[in-house]
Structure 1
Amino acid sequence: MKKRIIAVLVLALAIVIADRFILALTEKPSVGHFRSAEGRSTYVTAYQDALAAFPPEQSTRVPTSFGDAYLHTWNTAATGIPILLVPGRASGAPMWNELLPHLGTNRPVFAVDAIGDAGLSTQSTPLTSMQDQAAWLAEAISHLGLDEVHVVGHSFGGATAAALAMYHPDLVASLTLLEPVFVLRNLPASAFFWATVASTPLPQSWVDRALAEIGGTTVEEIRERTPVSVMIDAASKAYSAALPTPKVLTDSELERLSMPVYIGIADHKSLAGGAKAAERAQSHLPESTVKVWPNTTHSLPFQVTEKLGNELQEFWRASESSAEQLRR
């Protein structure tokens, strides 16, 4: 299963690269939308099938200035500081299925579908900047009545999580960035090349090879089908996203992240910047926890689920303990 989720997220990442490199040259929709009722129906069926692997205890739609955000909740009776999971591009809340069982049970866990992207959230107002991206997420958190959250973002979701921490630090108890794209370094040129191949009407064998190159995986894994891969494939065909393009954080912006920060980087075909990204993070965030995970790719959170879950639980405990000591 873990190998198959890798191929799924490679497809999602190819979508975001193609959006930045190709669709930037064309007119984008002002708000994200499904291209047809039939496409939406196909997507929603796939979404529900994927979510069934680890069904939430509660699902909630909350209003924001940019549309309605749809969130799922687990551990609703827990009393610790909540965890908020922000998905990668075209992935939605079900992408977290494999990691969810390893996040502990003493904190509520929220997973959101991004406004402007495929999912069950709906967009009403254009998102023109990463500050807007942070604003709708902050409004959703506040509408839920949460004072602060441990926010976790993967891939494009890492850029959104970093924007939330930068513009609304009072809401962020800690920040976890897992293979975040467009945060510490730009994507490598090879990723843009292979994303171009993947999004061009070429023979499927070429597209499969391109996706494998992007994700550091095999063509065989790319071709496997799972409920989540079916969902992401449906999203890529049925949904026109309308999202701002993230920019790599400047040194001063990084240094503004005063909350506890955990950064996980892959050691093989990292799209977050690899060892150089880790070095930059450690240089400008000396109090942060930065780890280059061995034998991982961009799909890091789903290759080391148990070990990562245990590390994050310890990171959150330490963060809360430090905050408590400062309040005394």
Structure 2
Amino acid sequence: MSELPEFAPIAPQPKGIGCFADAAGRARFAAAYRAGMTRLPPVDATRVVETSFGSVTAYRFGPPAAEPILLLSGRRASTPMWAANIASLRRIGTVWSMDSIGEPGASAQTRAITDPRDQATWLDEAIGQLDCERAHLLAVSIGGWLATQCLLHRPDRIASATLLDPAMTFAPISWKMIVVSLGSVLPGMPQALRHRLLGWLSGGVPVDDSIPEARLIASGMRDFRQHLPFPRPPAPDRLAAITTPLLVILAGASIVHDPARAAERARLVPDAQVEVWPGRSHAINGEAPEEITARVGEFLSGL
């Protein structure tokens, strides 16, 4: 793409506002973002919308639609992480991808986010400005937690939700994930070790700067100062109150949580379709793009 919207701000910023540590870090991230965007299908429309917590950048792939698929990325990630998925998802409908407020990307936070309701509020406000009636959420990792908060607090604009190995949603994170999370953001962490931690998260697949998505996430870890409240799994009674159609696909080889425990808890949602895919890692969206598209298409056609 020839032009990019403004990225998240540079430090110093008011307390609670996510920002890049310095101009060099933001430039490094922007370069990785630009490289990642070239791997996506052509963008048909870019929208920058204002919410109570900042501006949100969203990209549309396909014509306007009343009920598009809306992609929500994982931690320290943004739209380019969906390079393996968008082309195939376009076969079943129009796709929007949104960079989340508080994460490194082309959305800019302006107000501190203090609780899950705040998270649901900005997402609901952003969806309301995408020229659609409702959206089918497709979210991975911490994006799944964000989608779930919207189901709990602002469900009216959500037609359905598909959660891909959602983190901190149905089970607490594992000690392995704590090591990855803490180790990857330590100041002065060698890039090679940061890549090794990302590879561990992705089922042992080698990771280096030749992979644009890995370079993007590594820069987000290194260069972005995040200020979001620690996510916690919803209580059982809150899960039982969800009425939006829900598909949960858990990665059987995920190191983020105990997949069996997460599946058991996910089934507290009435009528939720819950599956564990053996052998898949937390990077499931990149490992099984065609399978995900087929399953999402089947799920949506049954609504």
| Matched AA of 2:173 | L
Give the direction of change, closer, same or farther, for the CA distance of 1:53–1:197 in structure 2 (3 Å limit): closer
| Corresponding residue to 1:143 among 122, 129, 141 | 129
Q: Distance in 2 between matches of 1:199 and 1:187?
A: 17
1:262 — aligned with what? 247
Alpha-carbon displacement from aligned partner over 1:183-237 (angstroms, at most 9, x marks no partner): 001001232234444444566666555444444314xx12362122222222222
1:6 — aligned with what? none
Alignment of 1:226 with 2:211, yes or no, is: yes
| Corresponding residue to 1:130 among 116, 130, 142 | 116
TM-score normalised according to structure 2 size = 0.88
2:107 — aligned with what? 121
2:62 — aligned with what? 75
Give the direction of change, closer, same or farther, for the CA distance of 1:138–1:291 in structure 2 (3 Å limit): same
Q: Distance in 2 between matches of 1:116 and 1:202?
A: 22
Alignment of 1:308 with 2:292, yes or no, is: yes
Alpha-carbon displacement from aligned partner over 1:243-272 (angstroms, at most 9, x marks no partner): 222111111111111011000101113424
| Matched AA of 2:223 | A
| Corresponding residue to 2:35 among 46, 49, 53 | 49
What displacement does 1:276 show?
Answer: 1.5
| Matched AA of 1:146 | C
2:263 — aligned with what? 278
Contact 2:185–2:221, Cα closer than 8 Å, also in 1: no
| Structural mapping, 1:168-179, within 5 Å | 168-179=154-165
TM-score normalised according to structure 1 size = 0.82
1:20 — aligned with what? none
Contact 1:148–1:172, Cα closer than 8 Å, also in 2: yes
1:295 — aligned with what? 279
Alignment of 1:34 with 2:25, yes or no, is: no
| Structural mapping, 1:200-211, within 5 Å | 200=186, 201=188, 209-211=196-198
User: Using CA pairs below 8 Å that are at least 6 residues apart, which structure has the higher relative contact order?
Assistant: 1
Give the direction of change, closer, same or farther, for the CA distance of 1:286–1:257 in structure 2 (3 Å limit): closer
Give the direction of change, closer, same or farther, for the CA distance of 1:52–1:257 in structure 2 (3 Å limit): same
Contact 1:80–1:107, Cα closer than 8 Å, also in 2: no
Give the direction of change, closer, same or farther, for the CA distance of 1:110–1:217 in structure 2 (3 Å limit): same
Q: Secondary structure at the match of 1:233?
A: helix
Contact 1:75–1:106, Cα closer than 8 Å, also in 2: no
Identity across matched positions, percent:
28
Alpha-carbon displacement from aligned partner over 1:99-122 (angstroms, at most 9, x marks no partner): 112213453211011111100111
Q: Distance in 2 between matches of 1:244 and 1:101?
A: 34
Q: Distance in 2 between matches of 1:199 and 1:144?
A: 33
Alpha-carbon displacement from aligned partner over 1:40-64 (angstroms, at most 9, x marks no partner): 2222122111011113111110000
Contact 1:195–1:214, Cα closer than 8 Å, also in 2: no
Q: Secondary structure at the match of 1:143?
A: coil
Q: Distance in 1 between matches of 2:140 and 2:165?
A: 6
Contact 1:102–1:306, Cα closer than 8 Å, also in 2: yes
- Structure 1 ranges of 4+ moved more than 6 A: 202-205
Q: Secondary structure at the match of 1:310?
A: helix
What displacement does 1:273 show?
Answer: 3.0
Q: Which moved more, 1:300-309 or 1:236-245?
A: 236-245
Q: Distance in 2 between matches of 1:227 and 1:99?
A: 15
Give the direction of change, closer, same or farther, for the CA distance of 1:41–1:138 in structure 2 (3 Å limit): same
Q: Distance in 1 between matches of 2:106 and 2:90?
A: 26
2:80 — aligned with what? 94
Root mean square deviation, CA, Å? 2.1
Q: Distance in 2 between matches of 1:313 and 1:145?
A: 22
